Chain A
Amino acid sequence: MEKFFNPQSVAVIGASVSEGKPGNVVLRNMLDNAYKGKIFLVNPRGGQIEGRLVAKSIEDLPAGIDQAIVTLPAALVPETVLALGEKGIKAVVLAASGFAEVNEMGEGLQADLAEAIKESGVRVLGPNTTGHISVPANFTSSFFPIGKLRRGSVSYIAQTGNFCGISIRHLSSAENFGVARSCGLGNKVDLNESDILDFYGQDPETKSIFMYLESVANPTRFLRVARRVSQHKPVFLLKGGASDAGAQAALAHTGSLAADGRIVDGAIAQAGITRLSKYSQLFHVAKALDVMALPKGNRVSFLSPSGAFTVCLTDICRDLGLDVPKLEEKTRKRLQDLAPPFIRMRNPVDIFGSVGMHGYEVAYKDALEAVLIDRNIDAVVAILMLTTETGIPDLNFIPQLAKRYPVKPIYVTFMGEHKHNIAAKELLEPLGVPCYLEVEQPFEVLSLLADCRRKMRRA
């Protein structure tokens, strides 16, 4: 696994001069991410790419290369794997599609590939994968233009190329958090989710793990590995193909058959894995865990500038299994001291009156600190009201409080003028405060995190 996630040298088999071709994008991605290892390129035409000499064949490569990324068409893949094995390259990423996910001919080709893997003793990621990402090593094998990646503590395992492709672009540009590792499993002809999960479980760079799977290659082993890893790291799973129609789509997508959904449900719960139900949760929950702690429990407080929110979000908390408990008396007193006497301060915190009396920053800051200190509370959501007319406060007090009380997460959401919401999000997220544009989202996230905490305790 070290050779996959921390390679000292790598060869691109099928390197290309043409911009946009996989054999070229791979190289660009590595250069964009300032990969420090040695890069070798192979193309029968030889010549130069990006000012680097190109070897004409695998035999011409020097010995001792850690990893190869193969961007050749499917038909050439089995013989290439054999050649790489002979060269002593033991870690191979196979980008090509056109195997078992397509047709019978592809199935035959996949069987040949399996045979070549066995014979050569190489380990293979793919085929039919966009590759993988290892930010601490400044490395990626992805052939999707992903740009410079942000380093974080979240790692992905996905039976899709999205998390080495479009979804990585989304989370680094729209959600402002980073990843440690990401791995597109492809057709899992050799390495599968259990291998990667096992590695992430022992990986000091990985603090939490998110999976998108459509099938499980070796269910018994997966259960065993997941049960072990979920005891000390949060593990989340979105299972694709849970519905009959989804299962049909999964068959077409990665050529995998879905097991009985109810048995899968049971096995996932047993393994201490927290189940996700929406694709967007793969980054909304991940964003919360990249920068903030996992809350100790399900007891929430929130600051709201609207009476309606205090009511309907309390309803939502209840539906989501979150508790909105009574505050300690000293907290309540502190909140009441800042509020007009006609508003009875309690949890959830109606902050409107205090803002009117003391201004935005003083009111929110003091109330936020009061509930963070409260022993009945595990996590806090601040709903900000930002409009040009009421003025935009200096929001730096939020990341400052987050640093002072690292055990209890703070999430921010908004109701107000969109441009200010976006600006606040862009300011706060890089400073380590996850923001959500819809008011229910942070509560949904907290509910999943509380579920995760329960599962980890029981695992």
Chain B
Amino acid sequence: MSSRTKKIIDTAIKRGQRALTEYESKRVLAAYGIPVSREVLVASASQARSAAKKIKYPVVLKACSADEAHKTEKGLVAVNLSSQKELNEAWTALNKKAGRGYDGNWLVQEMVKGPREIMIGMHRDPGFGPSVMFGLGGIFTEILQDVIFRVAPLRKKDARDMLRGIRACKILDEIRGMPSADKEVLVHALMAVGQIALDHPEIEEIDINPLILKGAKPIAVDGLIVLSGV
């Protein structure tokens, strides 16, 4: 268990958060070796511009607050911003949409592109304990319900079984000119999510969705860690 992770969670609990922000969630995932999108937390337009320059365009601008779990539904996300001009415009538009009362920060994030979206989750079952979930990502998670569970701790072969166990498992193979997904990274990510839940009983749910395959490499583009209501 990393003490950095514990600090992030403890601070969030002290602040009375029901969930970690996307930024905090991803710091936890990254601490366990799960590849996450490059991103910088910013509070002003000028900070956003210098972050974008560092990350390199195109970028994504997202609201990042403990209360804004469903950014997309509130429309506080602007993707594929390819220039400083577009970033400035998005900054103005999103701040307006967020309203004066908005007290959160913003995330400037690399734009990860790839047609294949998958997801990894964790649900704490009252009987079996932390159960790790794997499936198709994005809107297909809900539409096709093509998911598979294994109970933590996962052995390597459990994680491998998960990758092979969804109906759409061919999505991870070499297909239509796309390379085969890096299975070792996925296996590690699945085991790591189980380990995070075992190390931190305060975590009720983990949702990494989508995990985009950038070529062969899976990258967590969005992440949410929900805390138990204590």
Contacts and interface: CB of A to CB of B under 8 A. Distances in A.
Contacts, number: 50
A262 B157 contact: no
A220 B131 CA distance: 11
Contact of B127 (A219, A262, A265, A458): A219
Select the residue from A216, A260, A270 with max chain B CB neighbours within 10 A.
A270
Contacts of A264: 128
A220 B149 contact: no
Interface in B91-141: 123, 125-129, 131
A53 interface: no
B26 interface: no
Interface on chain A toward B: helix, strand, loop, or mixed SS? helix
Nearest to B160: A458
A266 B148 contact: yes
24 contacts: A216-B127, A219-B125, A219-B127, A219-B129, A219-B151, A220-B127, A220-B128, A220-B129, A223-B128, A259-B126, A259-B127, A259-B128, A260-B125, A260-B131, A260-B149, A262-B149, A263-B128, A263-B131, A263-B151, A265-B149, A266-B131, A267-B128, A269-B161, A270-B158
B150 interface: yes
A223 B153 CA distance: 11
Contacts of B28: none
Nearest to B154: A270
B47 to A, nearest CB: 43
A263 B149 contact: yes
Nearest to B149: A266
Contacts of A223: 128, 151
Interface on chain B toward A: helix, strand, loop, or mixed SS? strand
Contacts of B131: 260, 263, 266-267
A223 B148 CA distance: 17
A21 B158 CA distance: 50
Contacts of A269: 150, 161, 165
Nearest to B161: A269
Select the residue from A216, A265, A266, A458 with max chain B CB neighbours within 10 A.
A266
Q: Which 10 A-B pairs have the closest CB atoms?
A: A266-B149, A219-B127, A219-B128, A263-B149, A266-B150, A263-B131, A267-B151, A263-B125, A259-B127, A262-B149
A180 to B, nearest CB: 29
B213 interface: no
A223 B131 CA distance: 13
Contacts of B87: none
Interface string A162-185: 000000000000000000000000
A259 B158 CA distance: 20
A384 B190 CA distance: 50
A262 B148 CA distance: 7
Select the residue from B123, B128, B148 with max chain A CB neighbours within 10 A.
B128
A458 B157 CA distance: 8
B161 A263 contact: no
A270 B129 CA distance: 14
B147 interface: yes
A458 B127 CA distance: 25
Query: Interface range on chain A: under 10, 10 to 19, 20 to 34, or 35 or more?
Result: 10 to 19
A263 B123 contact: yes
Given A219-B125, A259-B128, A263-B151, 10 more contacts: A223-B128, A259-B125, A262-B148, A263-B131, A263-B149, A266-B148, A267-B151, A269-B161, A270-B151, A458-B161
Contacts of B125: 219, 259-260, 263
Interface string A249-266: 000000000011011111
A168 to B, nearest CB: 30
Select the residue from A223, A263, A267, A458 with max chain B CB neighbours within 10 A.
A263
A458 B155 CA distance: 11
Contacts of A458: 157, 161
A266 B157 contact: no
Contacts of A265: 148-149
A216 B131 CA distance: 16
Nearest to A217: B127
A65 B158 CA distance: 47
A458 B125 CA distance: 25
A219 B129 CA distance: 8
A269 B123 CA distance: 18
B151 A266 contact: yes
Contacts of B123: 260, 263
Interface in A290-314: none
B22 to A, nearest CB: 26
Contacts of A260: 123, 125, 131, 149
A266 B151 CA distance: 7
Interface string B19-54: 000000000000000000000000000000000000
Interface in A179-226: 216, 219-220, 223
A409 B158 CA distance: 30
Contacts of B126: 259
Contacts of B158: 270
Contacts of A220: 127-129
Nearest to A223: B151
A113 to B, nearest CB: 22
A262 B147 contact: yes
A269 B126 CA distance: 19
Contacts of A270: 150-151, 158, 161
B101 to A, nearest CB: 38
Contacts of A263: 123, 125, 128, 131, 149, 151
Nearest to B125: A263
A264 B165 CA distance: 14
A263 B147 CA distance: 10
